[in-house]
Structure formats: structure tokens, C-alpha cells
Amino acid sequence: MKDYKVVCFKSEPRKTIFAPEWEYYIFESFVNKINFKNLANLILKKERSILKLPMTKRYGKVTDGFTGLGENSTTIRFESYNVLKWKNMSLLKKSILKGHAAILNFFKQETQKELYIQCWANIMRKGEQIKPHIHSTTPTTYLGGHLCVQCDQTSTYYINPINQINDPEIYSSKNETGKITFFPNNIPHYTDIQNSDNERITIAFDLAIHKPNTGNWIKLI
């Protein structure tokens, strides 16, 4: 797959009818047309206004998506705004669409007639960490991803969703500015503790082929 690193969690051939079988793919590439310094400054500038927005709730309770970033984060408000609604986000939108198209081509699938996205910013400061979490396990689970806007000295770890307890299989990916990653939304993932004095800034997103009833989704296709 040109311009993309493809990582696969794959089961060994089954030897009984009861043995589990799986195949999960992670796709990584780099975006080079976005001015990431300006984008990082924009996110930090908007942080104060984002923190005034309502926090996301599930079943009547506030949730940060189990990331552990807490109430004083842009992450816990991920359903109250959408980064792609900001001005001058056309290159980000094109980068996500390009990656999605490449993945469908990898699986020899036709382009989706409709595609929706929820897109938010994560800001981690020294001592903070994104804890193991997943984005979705529903029957309509699709793709998620994130773009490193300002990252150094951390990695993101992806856990084989089938084998999470006994000797879990983990893929470690160094966070580098410009790296964009796509993965099935049921893959657990987490980060190192941020030890740098600089903020670690990423843009995370969920994709869906049917518009969900909750959240702040916009139509990509």
C-alpha cells in the first residue's frame, strides 16, 4: 500500500471450529501539506473557549471516553464541537478522505456513498497520559484515527482486541508530528506519560457510514 505502513493483528490458522479467528489492520502515513505549527497554535488558542462547552455525557454521566484526561480537557467535550467546522480546515479534511480512500482500495471495497466524521482535539501536558480505551464496539463500528499535530517523546500503543489479558499483543507507534493513523474503532489504545514541557497535541476522529444520533458529526461524503 503506497505511502502507508500497514500493521496487522492476525490469528494463526484455526485448528478447531472453536478457535478464535481475527484480522485487524492499522494504517499509518504522514501528512506534509499542513502547517502544523500554526495548527497547534490555533488549537491552544481555542482551548479556553472549548473548555466552556458542555462535557460529553453517557447514560446521564460525564465521560472523557475513558481516556483519563478528566474534566479540564478538550477531550471530555468531544461531542460539543468539531474541528472540521473551524475555518481553513480543508487540508485536514482532504488528508482524512485520502487515507480513507486508500484503505478502501486496500480492501478492494467501493467508495462509500456517505461518510460522517466527529473530530476533536486532545491536549496533554507534562504528567498527563491517555489511558487504555476504545471508541466503539457497536454493530456499526467503523474507523477511527488521529493526527499528530505537536508530538515528541511519546508513543501510542495499540492492543490486539482479542488478546488483552494473557500476554497481550501490542503495537508501539512513535508519535511524530504529521503522522496520521487509522484503525478499527474497537482497538484499545493508550499513550505514554507526557514528560516534555511542550504540549502533546493531536486531532482525533471517528468515521461512520451512518450518521449517529448523538455527537457533533458532519458529512464528509
Q: Specify the CATH number for the domain of residue 132.
A: 2.60.120.620
151 lies in some domain? yes
pLDDT over 90 at 34, yes or no: yes
88 lies in some domain? yes
178 lies in some domain? yes
Q: What is the pLDDT of residues 35-69, one digit of tens each?
A: 999 999 999 999 999 999 999 998 889 999 999 99
Mean pLDDT of 186-211: 95
The dihedral through the CA atoms of 39, 41, 43, 45 has a sign that is negative
Domain count, the chain: 1
Confidence of residue 1 (pLDDT cuts 50, 70, 90): low
132 lies in some domain? yes
- pTM given for the model: 0.94
Considering the chain, what is the average pLDDT of its residues?
94
Closest by CA position to 156, among listed 179, 126, 135: 179
Q: Rounded to whole angstroms, how far apart are CA atoms 39 and 41? A: 5
45 lies in some domain? yes
What is the span of the domain harbouring residue 114? 28-219
Counted residue by residue, the chain has a size of: 221
Q: What is the pLDDT of residues 157-194, one digit of tens each?
A: 999 998 777 788 999 999 999 999 999 999 999 999 99
Q: Rounded to whole angstroms, how far apart are CA atoms 122 and 103? A: 24
Q: What is the pLDDT of residues 112-136, one digit of tens each?
A: 889 999 999 999 999 999 999 999 8
b/e burial code for range 115-142 (CB count within 10 A of at least 16 → b):
bbbbbbbbbbeeebebeeebbbeeeeeb
19 lies in some domain? no
Residue 86, all three cell numbers: 473551524
54 lies in some domain? yes
If residue 150 lies in a helix (H) or strand (E), which one and from where to where? strand 143-150
219 forms beta bridges with: 116
131 lies in some domain? yes
Q: Rounded to whole angstroms, how far apart are CA atoms 31 and 202? A: 13
Q: Answer whether 51's CB lies under 8 Å from 77's CB.
A: yes
If residue 83 lies in a helix (H) or strand (E), which one and from where to where? none
